[in-house]
Structure 1
Amino acid sequence: MPRLPLLQNAAPIRLMKIARAGEPRVAARCWTSSVGQTRYSHSHGSPKWRPVSVLDEWVAKEARPISLRQLMVFGRSLTESRLISSANYVRTELPTRISHRIRDMQQLPYAVVTNPHINEVYDLYYNAFDTFRKVREIKTLDDNDRFCDTIRSTLKAHLTVIPKLAMGILECSGIKDAEDLDKFMNTILRSRISRRVIAEQHLALTDTFHAPWFSPGAKLSESEFIGEVFLKCVARDVIARCGAATREILQRAYGPSTPLPEIRIDGHLDASFPYILSHLEYIVGELLRNSVQAVAEKHRGSTKPPPPIEVTICESQQHVIIRISDQGGGVPRDSLPYMWSFSKGPASQQLLANLGQVPKLAATMQELQVEKEDEDDEDDDDSDDKNCSKEKVDDGHKHHPGSSLASLASRPPNLRLGMGLPLSRVYAEYWAGSLALHSLEGYGVDAFLQISKLGNKNEQLATRATMDAV
């Protein structure tokens, strides 16, 4: 029996009865967003809304979280049996984790679920769940290769999920409480990160195992990657690379004559830790981009050089803390309530238009330049999904075309999506870290990123969905 609060979802229950009776579905239904746009969504091809017993079975299962250290230890001495074991872990974890998010979507009010953007995400999730739950036990390397092909095609198909969700949340901001929508969005994003971490880690291990230089059973070098985990993320180097990329983007956008602030790094310059590099690059890149842009715009036209951005690295026994301080004027008072929210209030209309120009976000939730780059260089999507190129570069750090730094440049500075800070906090908290901002209006912002440096914290998974959604 459904819980009493879910009786408001009577419309989905009626759809269930239609499906069971074999009657045709409604060809299209009119849907009006909170920003006054009338849309039509076609439902004849949608998956079944009713919670079939097989979904109940998967929702009843617990996800098994892992830590960075477990990812490292597992892949350090890679053998065929370990690779197959990894495949079977992913084979059972993906449908389990997806099933909980499908159930979460089924709990949304009907007016939200039928939003065309969220409905499309539901279809993608249901199709992925149906695909992965049917994968048989992996017993051979050939089985694993076929499974990896399925993972890659699914990752590529799901590149539209983040912008679709963001647009759906913005359009539904007048239908459901913003706090509830943010909680839903954070749950979906954290779960999405968790699935992509285990999927991409397995793809990377498989590519390593098949590499001509690899000898099964040999220990991977301490100076390289184990799958997607970079064993020695040096904070100073990541900040320097992200800072250089940010300055280059903004210099191109504003013109060579516009002075940009210097980025100064001090503190514990040798601090290092194991981490997934694309996650860290995303967070640091977004924070530096916000700071450099704010300072450049606030001090544009001044005869004096813009004040520098001070980045301080602090290493303790268990954590590394990165503080980014700027003098860009701080966060405007009217923007503060929406800083960590995906529902942006008065700014929703402009953000919807901006998101429409970014139909795909990559596996690391970085912008891929839309139509032009996708058509001209379709391999970029594949390289980002496979994440298989682990070449060494000068100092042992990885930077391949699908990395966050390469895709960071594709979004012009004035194309704000309203997602950078909330997404960065989801990433920071995923490995038991944190992200906080302190704004002094009229002066500047201090951002504090805390990272667990031991790699022994489990991924912070989203909570389980309840069994009786509808």
Structure 2
Amino acid sequence: MQTLPYTALTNPHISHVYELYYLAFEKLRKVPEVRTLGDNDALCTVIKECLREHLSVIPRLAMGVLEIEGIIKSSERDLFMRTLLRSRISRRVIAEQHLALTETFHSPWHFPNAKKSQVAPEDDFIGEIFLRCNAKEIVEKCANRTRELVASAYGSNTVIPEVKLQGHLDATFPYIPSHLEYILGELFRNSIQAVVEQRPSSSPAPIEVLICEAPQHVMFRISDQGGGVDREILPYLWSFSKSPRRDLRLQNLERVPRLAATMQEVHSSADPPSQSGPSSSKEHYPGSLDSLSSRPPDLRLGIGLPMSRIYAEYWAGSLELHSLEGYGVDAFLQISKLGNKNEVLSTRASMDAV
């Protein structure tokens, strides 16, 4: 951030994010060396505090990048956002993984003398990583939640399209559920809204999901018949900084004061435990995608697709979208099974190149 022009760094949103990172550095710098369990618990308290304070980073960054138009070229602003967000993801993953592993260590069933009745409720978890994400279950969960969200917004007279699954429905793989839920949630939101807005009262064509499993990765194809992407929007699908609807995006981003980045926060207290997501017995602390995933359908931010691509690419996956004007869209999400490839980190050289 210190490489930005001075006039860009004085933008109130970017300056706010800069101060958050500076204060976090100061807090962590003053934490003494961890030698005991008590020291680790104190460190976890600081980490949780930082995670909560940084929930506003993504919307503030998005607003700042839009507002410094004219100071920095759009291509450079997009590179800045991608680099900073990738760096942010890596740090949040480390922080959340440490908290989750600490929580596991403190659980009663973890100790050698634990009673037989104290069975580990999360045997399939290593921290935040769920070893047996089920493709069918996680798609159904994201699809159902999105359908409910759209139905509540558009009213009871609106016919919500069904979601049909086919392919390798029994595919399982290790992954961080919240990251995958966020990406799938954004794709379903786009497809279901497009179909509903094109045919609000007639019988809409279903959203078709094809799941393909290979030894190294899993592919999801989400196909809709929602008319395709508007021609004026298509060139800017993956851009944080350039859009013909800049003013509307700024207004909507201001309505999301504590945006972060995972569908975890859409969980209600009535949600039953699911094999595709973290156990309800795990301590809940603010995730990085909360308000974003649960926002109302009319709150169009313009950052869902570019952020989803960053999350996919971080774990050596990919996200592509093919639009057929007048017909619909095919979205292709490929995720690498965790453990097969290294995550795509922001290197010092890439940050210096911004």
Q: Is TM (by shorter chain) over 0.5?
A: yes
SS of equivalent to 2:245? helix
In the alignment, which residue of structure 1 is the partner of 2:217?
319
In the alignment, which residue of structure 2 is the partner of 1:145?
41
The reply on whether 1:343 has 2:241 as its aligned counterpart is: yes
Taking the TM superposition and a 5 Å limit, the aligned residue runs for 1:121-200 are 121-200=17-96
In the alignment, which residue of structure 1 is the partner of 2:339?
455
Taking the TM superposition and a 5 Å limit, the aligned residue runs for 1:368-407 are 393=273, 395=275, 397-398=277-278, 400=280
Verify the 8 A CA contact 2:216 2:336 in the aligned structure 1: yes
SS of equivalent to 2:244? helix
CA distance in 2, matches of 1:355, 1:255: 24
CA distance in 2, matches of 1:460, 1:467: 13
1:211 to 76, 88, 107: 107
Structure 2, gaps ≥5 residues long: none
2:206 to 308, 314, 326: 308
CA distance 1:184–1:216, shift in 2 (3 Å): farther
Verify the 8 A CA contact 1:281 1:405 in the aligned structure 2: no
CA displacement at 1:453 relative to structure 2: 1.7
The reply on whether 1:230 has 2:114 as its aligned counterpart is: no
CA distance 1:169–1:468, shift in 2 (3 Å): closer
Q: Which amino acid aligns with 1:345?
A: S
The reply on whether 1:426 has 2:326 as its aligned counterpart is: no
In the alignment, which residue of structure 2 is the partner of 1:296?
196
CA displacement at 1:463 relative to structure 2: 2.3
CA distance 1:468–1:231, shift in 2 (3 Å): closer
CA distance 1:234–1:160, shift in 2 (3 Å): same
Q: Which amino acid aligns with 1:312?
A: L
CA displacement at 1:111 relative to structure 2: 1.5
SS of equivalent to 1:345? coil
SS of equivalent to 1:213? helix
CA displacement at 1:251 relative to structure 2: 0.7
CA distance 1:256–1:466, shift in 2 (3 Å): closer
Cα-to-partner distance string for 1:379-406 (whole Å, 9 max, x where unaligned): x9xx9xxxxx9x9936474365767998
In the alignment, which residue of structure 2 is the partner of 1:72?
none
Q: Which amino acid aligns with 1:354?
A: N
Percent identity of the aligned residues? 61
Q: Which amino acid aligns with 1:181?
A: R
Q: Which amino acid aligns with 1:341?
A: S
CA distance in 1, matches of 2:239, 2:304: 10
In the alignment, which residue of structure 1 is the partner of 2:160?
260
The reply on whether 1:416 has 2:293 as its aligned counterpart is: no
CA distance 1:396–1:238, shift in 2 (3 Å): closer
CA distance 1:237–1:298, shift in 2 (3 Å): same
Verify the 8 A CA contact 1:361 1:367 in the aligned structure 2: no
TM-score (norm 1): 0.68
In the alignment, which residue of structure 2 is the partner of 1:436?
320
Verify the 8 A CA contact 2:185 2:263 in the aligned structure 1: no
CA distance in 2, matches of 1:467, 1:317: 33
SS of equivalent to 1:106? coil
CA distance in 2, matches of 1:217, 1:168: 54
CA displacement at 1:213 relative to structure 2: 2.2
CA distance 1:466–1:413, shift in 2 (3 Å): closer
* CA RMSD after TM alignment: 2.9
CA distance 1:329–1:467, shift in 2 (3 Å): closer
* Number of corresponding residues: 344
Structure 1, gaps ≥5 residues long: 1-104, 370-379, 384-388
Cα-to-partner distance string for 1:14-56 (whole Å, 9 max, x where unaligned): xxxxxxxxxxxxxxxxxxxxxxxxxxxxxxxxxxxxxxxxxxx
Cα-to-partner distance string for 1:242-266 (whole Å, 9 max, x where unaligned): 1100110111111112111110000
SS of equivalent to 2:232? helix
TM-score (norm 2): 0.89
In the alignment, which residue of structure 2 is the partner of 1:331?
229
Runs of 4+ in 1 over 4 A off after TM superposition: 216-223, 365-369, 394-397, 399-409, 465-469
